[in-house]
Amino acid sequence: MSKRNIIIALQSLCLCLAIFMVSGCSGGGSGKSEDAVKIWHWMTDRQEAFEKLANDYYKLTGVKVIFETYAPTDVYKNKITAAASGHLLPDIYNPQSDKKELASYINAGYIADLTDEMNTGWKDVFFEKSLIANSFEENNEWGVKPGIYGVPLDVSSLMIYYNKDLFAQAGLDPENPPKTWPEFIEAGKKLREAGIQPFVSGFGEAWLIGAFAASYQWSLFGKQGIIDTIDGKIPYNDQRWLKIFKLFEEMKDNKMFASGIVTMVNKDSERTFATGRAAMTFNGSWGVNVYKSMNPSLNYGLMYPPSLPDAPYPLLVFGGDGSSMFVNAESPRKDKAIAFLKWFTEKDQQAYLAKETLNIPSNKESADDLPEILQEFSKSITRTFENLPKLEAWQVTNYININLQSVIIGEKDPVKAVKEIQDEKIRQMKVQK
Amino acid sequence: MMNASPKEKTFNMMFILPALLLFLVFNLYPLLRTIQLSFFQWNGIDKDMVFVGFAQYKHIIFNNPAYWKSMLNAGYITLLCLTLQNGLALLLAILVNRQIKGENIYRVIFFLPPVLSGIVVGLIWKFMYDGNFGILNSWLAAIGFEQFKDFAWLSEIKTALSSVAVVHMWKGFGYGFIILLAGLQTIPNELYEAAEVDGADKWQQFRHITIPSMIPVFTMVTVLTVLGAMQIFDLIYSMTQGGPAGHTDVPITKIYQYMNNGEFGYSTAMAVIFGLVLLIASIFQLYASKKFNK
């Protein structure tokens, strides 16, 4: 074995180790040597507006802020989870999680408590409902210290958009959309008779179908009833749950759903509505910007999900905070990050964001200058779901959403669907015990 | 190598070491860590993991019917791939092997779908299947099948899984085609010439020369097909997300779903079970092919 061969072998070994080490060090996170505040967001369509504001902030303070956007949301979420495990989280981020998981981030020390900062008057600029999702109450079931942990950048809610031209085509009054469930079904029948698909939504995305059903859950059960259901005191085969499933069955029986709705993602649903292939759609306030880009001449109005005449509680809608940001408690630039968020949520910056992205700003003062349609959404923020001290197990929620799909495609009747959900609830309660 | 000196052995080992290191870090460690995680309840965030032993395995086996349904769905796709996809691949490989004109063009055309991104293929086919915009329905309506005008192929229970399987077969048959063609080309021509002299017809030649010679290749294609079809994910993710109502869920989408909901321990237990199922299936196929070879 010659000396030359040994040198070649050693060189090969070193090269491999170098590649390995370099690959292990690459990507993500807030590099320790960097002084810029790094933000990870998931809305790629806002990159330009974010960068413009970051530049303004740099000119004003000399602090560099870098926005990095990653889509789709589940990819962003996975990136956050992996970064948390490796202590590589950026200075500002959103874990894209429900309250239970958010509590885990806080308890693990990945999210800073902003209560003191918020109490200096900062919280007063926000819509009250927008702070609920980021706050924890006294004696919450996850053991999180009560306080405010997130900063809402915008707010959103989900309502029904309707196409005024298609309504007129079907002989319906475009300025007087259906307000009650029977009116809604009647409108659906007329639209179908006119050869128009009445209703579309991204029901292939479980959360959207769940959000639509949840409005009726609030309307029939009220807050305490929902808590009692989570606690197992009210079973899922209760008559009121059966009624919710029957609403979907009624829509199916009256051919209200657009073709392929149960596997339709929201993007496809938005395209279907924007191109006039369906008359109504259940979607969020972000849809205003989407429809503008897809079909600027689309003539539409807004309505609440139709109310049930005999419901004991008011009908609320899914919404509150749109996108919120959390400060990394481990970040050496924590103070800079908070200072930036304070500036970012001031009236002028929020007004700019609202104008550029057509979303509802979280700062109440900026909401007055919004276009009419967004002002309607802005008013609906007061009618969004209330804060709950506990959450249903996601497996049960998933069963609800899947069984709603089953009812829509006619695979199951409502009685069988609610029974299966209750069976899953019992399974999950056993697991929790 | 038997007579290599210890010094030479050490020297040789140095060449293996980098690859071995990479294997240990990127394959063995994640595998062992996955198995370890499957015994803990952990959401990926908490600093403490709770040891639960085999509880998650027990729950998956006895209390998670949706997971086993997803396994059956993957099995259905696999069955279609083993029969239709590989049958088509073999047929085309035999035709191309007959030294027809433009043989290389066919090779390129048939091998194009496998090299395309699964997500892109899924989105294109989803658009083709779409009940509102899809060209498939337009074509069907144009040739007289008006009843399919608004038919949502991916949202109907009867057609959703098969529609996804068709796309998987379309995307995957090129792999089998290339491997089978390579296998056919290794069979010496002399065997066919001798058989012809002995009076064997084409069918007899196929049965007694082609098939026995191709058994190792069939085994490889079968194993690859089973592993590929059972692990289908990107197409499902981009076309149906497991819907309608879980009818196109497969094990990987279930694992992904649980992981996305912060059930890291549980989803790794699902992954271990799934890995074992695939391992058993592969061992069985290898055993069967050896037996058949004898």
**pLDDT tens digits along A320-336:** 878 899 999 999 999 99
> Are the beta carbons of B249 and B268 closer than 8 angstroms?
no
Which chain A residues touch B46 with a CB distance below 8 Å?
Answer: 104, 107-108
**pLDDT number for residue A30:** 41
The overall average pLDDT reported for chain A is: 90
The residue among B168 and B2 whose pLDDT is bigger is B168
CB contact under 8 A, A405 and B244: yes
Q: Half-sphere exposure of A239 toward its Cβ, with a 13 Å CA cutoff?
A: 1
**Judging by DSSP bridges, how do beta strands A150-163 and A319-327 pair with one another?**
antiparallel
Distance separating alpha carbons of residues A275 and A15, to the nearest angstrom: 56
**pLDDT tens digits along A140-168:** 888 899 999 999 998 889 999 999 999 99
CB contact under 8 A, A272 and B132: yes
CA distance B77 to chain A (A): 19
Tell me which of B71-75, B89-93, B104-108, B189-193 is least confident: B104-108
Average pLDDT over residues B274-281: 94
Residue in chain A closest to B11 (alpha carbons) equals: A6
> Are the beta carbons of A154 and A355 closer than 8 angstroms?
no
Domain edges within chain B? 67-293
**pLDDT tens digits along A185-209:** 999 999 999 999 999 999 998 889 9
The single-letter DSSP state of residue A424 is: H
Residue A27 scores a pLDDT above 50: no
Tell me which of A220-224, A227-231, A297-301, B7-11 is least confident: B7-11
CB contact under 8 A, A259 and B132: yes
Average pLDDT over residues B204-229: 92
Question: For residue A161, what are the contacts with CB-CB under 8 A and spacing of at least 6?
Answer: A273, A280, A281, A283, A287, A291, A300, A301, A302
The overall average pLDDT reported for chain B is: 91
CB contact under 8 A, A110 and B22: no
> Are the beta carbons of A211 and A404 closer than 8 angstroms?
no
Residue in B45, B130, B245 nearest the CB of A260: B130
Which chain B residues touch A94 with a CB distance below 8 Å?
Answer: none
B48 — contact with chain A (CB < 8 Å)?
A: no
Question: For residue A42, what are the contacts with CB-CB under 8 A and spacing of at least 6?
Answer: A69, A70, A71, A72, A73, A76, A94, A96, A323
**pLDDT tens digits along B58-73:** 999 998 999 999 999 9
**pLDDT number for residue A31:** 40
Residue for token pair 């529609």: B163
Domain edges within chain A? 37-156+320-383, 157-318+390-432
Q: How many CB atoms lie within 10 A of CB A48?
A: 12
Tell me which of A4-8, A363-367, B83-87, B170-174 is least confident: A4-8
Which chain A residues touch B56 with a CB distance below 8 Å?
Answer: none
Residue A13 scores a pLDDT above 60: no
What value, to the nearest 5°, has the Cα angle with vertex A167 and ends A162 and A171? 160
**pLDDT number for residue A25:** 44
SS (H, E, C) A105-139: HHHCCCCCCCHHHHCCCHHHHECHHHHHCCEECCC
**pLDDT number for residue A19:** 53
CB contact under 8 A, A260 and B15: no
B246 — contact with chain A (CB < 8 Å)?
A: yes
Q: How far is CA B281 from the centre of its chain?
A: 12
pTM, two decimals, is: 0.85
Instruction: Name residue A194's amino acid.
Output: A
Residue in A85, A110, A402 nearest the CB of B245: A402
**pLDDT level of residue A240 (50, 70, 90 thresholds):** very high
**pLDDT number for residue A433:** 75
Token pair of B279 as six digits: 């391992």
SS (H, E, C) A294-346: HCCCCCEEEECCCECCCCCCCCCECEEEEEEEEECCCCCCHHHHHHHHHHHCC
CB pairs under 8 A between A and B: 113
CB contact under 8 A, A204 and B240: yes
CATH topology match: A37-156+320-383 vs A157-318+390-432? yes
**Judging by DSSP bridges, how do beta strands A280-284 and A319-327 pair with one another?**
unpaired
Tell me which of A59-68, A129-138, A327-336, B206-215 is least confident: A129-138
What CA–CA distances, in Å, run from B136 to A254, A263, B117, B142? Answer: 26, 17, 21, 10
> Are the beta carbons of A308 and A181 closer than 8 angstroms?
yes
Q: A86-112 in b/e burial notation, b at 16+ Cβ within 10 A?
A: eebbbbbbbbbbebbbbbbbbbbebbb
Domain topology for A37-156+320-383: D-Maltodextrin-Binding Protein; domain 2 (3.40.190)
Instruction: Name residue A364's amino acid.
Output: K
Distance separating alpha carbons of residues A395 and A425, to the nearest angstrom: 8
A263 — contact with chain B (CB < 8 Å)?
A: yes
Beta strands in B78-236 (DSSP E): none
Which chain A residues touch B25 with a CB distance below 8 Å?
Answer: 20
Burial class for B279, CB neighbours closer than 10 Å (0-12, 13-18, 19+): exposed
Name the CA radius of gyration of chain A, rounded.
Answer: 25
Token pair of A199 as six digits: 């209703």
**pLDDT level of residue A98 (50, 70, 90 thresholds):** confident
CATH 1.10.3720.10 fits B67-293, yes or no: yes
Residue in chain B closest to A277 (alpha carbons) equals: B132
Q: Hey, which residues does A148 pair with through a beta bridge?
A: A135
Distance separating alpha carbons of residues A254 and A252, to the nearest angstrom: 5
Residue A33 scores a pLDDT above 80: no
A406 — contact with chain B (CB < 8 Å)?
A: yes
**pLDDT level of residue B191 (50, 70, 90 thresholds):** very high
A73 — contact with chain B (CB < 8 Å)?
A: no
Within 68-127 of B, beta carbons closer than 8 Å to A belong to none
Q: Which 3 state secondary structure label does DSSP give B247?
A: coil
CB contact under 8 A, B15 and A12: yes
CA distance A352 to chain B (A): 34
Within 271-300 of A, beta carbons closer than 8 Å to B belong to 271-272, 277
Which chain B residues touch A402 with a CB distance below 8 Å?
Answer: 245-246
Question: For residue B130, what are the contacts with CB-CB under 8 A and spacing of at least 6?
Answer: A260, A268, B137, B152
Average pLDDT over residues B15-24: 92
CATH number of A157-318+390-432, picked from 3.10.28.10, 3.40.190.10, 1.10.10.10, 3.40.30.10: 3.40.190.10
The residue among A393 and A27 whose pLDDT is bigger is A393
CB contact under 8 A, A409 and B244: yes
CB contact under 8 A, B44 and A409: no
CB contact under 8 A, B45 and A12: no
Q: B221-242 in b/e burial notation, b at 16+ Cβ within 10 A?
A: bbbbbbebbbebbbbbbbbbbb
**pLDDT tens digits along A281-308:** 999 998 998 999 999 999 999 999 999 9
Average pLDDT over residues A10-16: 58
Q: Which 3 state secondary structure label does DSSP give B78?
A: helix
